[in-house]
Structure formats: structure tokens, C-alpha cells
Amino acid sequence: MQGLPQPPDQPNVDGCPMVELSDDPVDVEYLLKALYIPTFHCQNKLPLAVVAAFIRLGRKYDFKDLFNSAVARLTSDCPATLEEYDVVQTEFKTIEEHSDIMLDLITLASQNNIMSILPCAYYYALQDYSLAELFDGVQKSDGTVASLSPADLRRCVIAKEKLLAKQLQPGYTLGWARKWEFDDCTSHPRCRVLREAILIRQSDDAAIHALTPLSWFRRLSFCATCALHVADSVKAGRKKMWDELPGFFDLPPGAS
């Protein structure tokens, strides 16, 4: 920091120059806590504001370990693999959650070019918020409003339409419900009604089930043979959806 250019008449304390910073005072406070209280940044969970400060100032002032540890928290809770997503999706492991966290998290990642977490983060946002909330923003506890940039908002809105259509196509998560390709069912009326109910519910709710866990489908009372076909179809469909997730949000394949 002392390498930063300062005015020639800059005051000093005990011979040490005073360095004026233009950074957010709260960010600086978190940085100093991390530097002088070793256990501060090692807590199991940290508020997103702290993680954001470590990313912004860690990059700016070349605190590589602090920066990398903060990015690791983001990638842990917004992972790049389906296997990790299945572990995390019920609860964040390293960042404290609150109602508007995904909007702030997306903004942080976009502003700092942390592209690897964006496919998962965008998907979380589509799961957590209505279109009205994405457009209008979500009020935070301090009275401010968490919102997306126009670019992030556009990606989410366009992707939602794509995901809703794609998840029902053959080979994807719900494609089997629209086109059943098996003939070994042992309870035709019941299983047919279940498949139709899924399509009706999807039509009414317009909900994204691209990555809905297999456990949800196992609760349905398909016959034993159909249950196996459903499980195999959902597994394959979820993987296909995950592999293509960056493309739905107009991100390069390497973003996941």
C-alpha cells in the first residue's frame, strides 16, 4: 500500500507516511480484521459482505491468499459440478444466507469476472425469485434494494424461457413425462396419470425443474419398472441440463 503514489506534503505518523485509501471503509475494516485477527477469515461461514471485501481488496492490493480463500467460498456454494451442486443445494456451507443473497452474489461475481460460479448462481436466482422480483429487486434488511445489472437480468429472463422449454424435451429432465418410450409398465392407468399430472403441474406452475433432485421423483408411486425408467431418465436429463447450463445463460462452456 505504501507504494501507492501520495501527495508530496502527505502527513506522517512517527515517520511513517499516512496512506489515504479510496476504498469503502467497511471493506477496509474487514481487511484489517483478517490481517490482525487470524481466526476472523477462517470461520466456517462468513457474511457475503466480508467475502466481497476480501475479493475486492484482495485483488486490488494483491492479498492473494485472502482473495483465493474468498473465491473458494463462492465456488464451494455455487459449484461447477452437478455432484457438488447436489450436496450444496439445500444450504450454503461457507457463506451466511439471507433472502437477497443470490442477487448480491451474482453482482459480485459479474463485477469481478468470477465466471465459474455464474451458471449455478443464475439458476439459484431463477429458483428463488419471481420475474417481478428479478425486475424490481428485493428489499434488504438495511432498507436498500438488491438488484441485478441489466446484463445479468437479461441473461436470467431469457434463460428461464429456454429452460422451461428444454426440460420437457426428450433426453432432458422431464422429457420422459411428455414422451414415454417404454412398454413394460405393470400399472398402466396409474403411471399414465402420474406422467400426465407432472405435465399439468408444469403447465400450471411454469416452474423450472431442470435440476430437481431424483429424490423428488422417487416419492411418486410409479410401478417398479417405470420407477427405474424414471430414475434413469431423470439422472441422464439432469446431467444433460447441467452440462448445457452455461449456454442457457449465454456464457461460454468453460464458465462451468
Domain ranges of the chain: 12-161, 175-247
Contacts of residue 17, Cβ cutoff 8 Å, sequence gap at least 6: 2, 6, 10, 11
Low-confidence ranges of the chain (pLDDT < 70): 1-10, 15, 254-256
DSSP state of 12: E
Q: What is the C-alpha separation between 201 and 183, in angstroms, rounded?
A: 24
pLDDT for 218: 92
pLDDT for 80: 93
pLDDT for 4: 58
Answer whether 146's CB lies under 8 Å from 138's CB: yes
- The phi, psi pair for 140, rounded to 5°, reads -95, 170
Q: What is the C-alpha separation between 245 and 252, in angstroms, rounded?
A: 10
pLDDT for 1: 52
Cell 420475474: give the residue: 131
pLDDT for 105: 97
pLDDT for 11: 75
Answer whether 160's CB lies under 8 Å from 131's CB: yes
The structure's pTM equals 0.89
